[in-house]
């Protein structure tokens, strides 16, 4: 019997696919306006920056929430480019260390975990991601890490009770993805650091 389709990933892929073209078109339109001599004031800078940020988030979400096939690969250079774009000008710094050729399903899970870690770093911080011979290791550190115990409990106990809003949907998706990939997630939480591995 075939596996049940991942409806959340199908919806994520559809939304990202439908949004990437119009956002790209807006970016191209802004570039053409600037080439034609449009005023380069703060308004145009804001539009350019906003389009760039939206494009970066869509590229990130396409991997984090989208569909993948078992054999699909993604290059480290593409991953680093996406990471660089989403953190540009932000308070969270992400350092990525991995082989050049990666399984897209691995990167999907790491991206979902990055979203979990970001929620614990509202004042900024540093996230280090490493792929060794056996496991992925993620380490988030900051002067003060904000832990919502209800959300983090869900990562290791999907049956845990508590309301989860749209901004934290990744905490619901990670356990499903861990199960789908037949992996085990380990978590270590302190006041200044979070360590995750799978």
pLDDT tens digits, one per residue of 123-147: 999 999 999 989 999 999 999 999 9
pLDDT per residue as tens digits for the range 8-37: 888 888 887 888 888 888 888 888 888 887
Of all helices (H) and strands (E), which one includes residue 64?
A: helix 42-65
Specify burial of residue 54 (Cβ count, 10 A radius: 0-12, 13-18, 19+): middle
């Amino acid at each position: 019997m075939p596996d049940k389709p991942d409806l959340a990933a199908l919806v994520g892929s559809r939304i990202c696919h439908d949004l990437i073209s119009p956002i790209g078109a807006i970016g191209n339109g802004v570039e053409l306006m600037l080439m034609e001599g449009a005023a380069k004031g703060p308004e145009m800078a804001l539009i350019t920056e906003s389009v760039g940020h939206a494009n970066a988030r869509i590229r990130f979400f396409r991997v984090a929430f989208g569909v993948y096939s078992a054999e699909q690969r993604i290059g480290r250079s593409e991953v680093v480019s996406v990471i660089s774009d989403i953190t540009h000008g932000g308070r969270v710094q992400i350092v990525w260390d991995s082989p050049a050729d990666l399984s897209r399903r691995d990167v999907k899970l790491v991206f979902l975990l990055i979203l979990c870690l970001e929620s614990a770093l509202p004042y900024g911080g540093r996230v280090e991601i490493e792929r060794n011979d056996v496991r992925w290791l993620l380490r988030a550190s900051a002067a003060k890490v904000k832990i919502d115990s209800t959300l983090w409990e869900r990562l290791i106990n999907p049956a845990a009770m508590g309301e989860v809003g749209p901004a934290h949907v990744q905490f619901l998706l990670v356990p499903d993805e861990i199960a789908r990939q037949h992996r085990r997630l380990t978590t270590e939480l302190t006041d200044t650091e979070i360590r995750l591995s799978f």
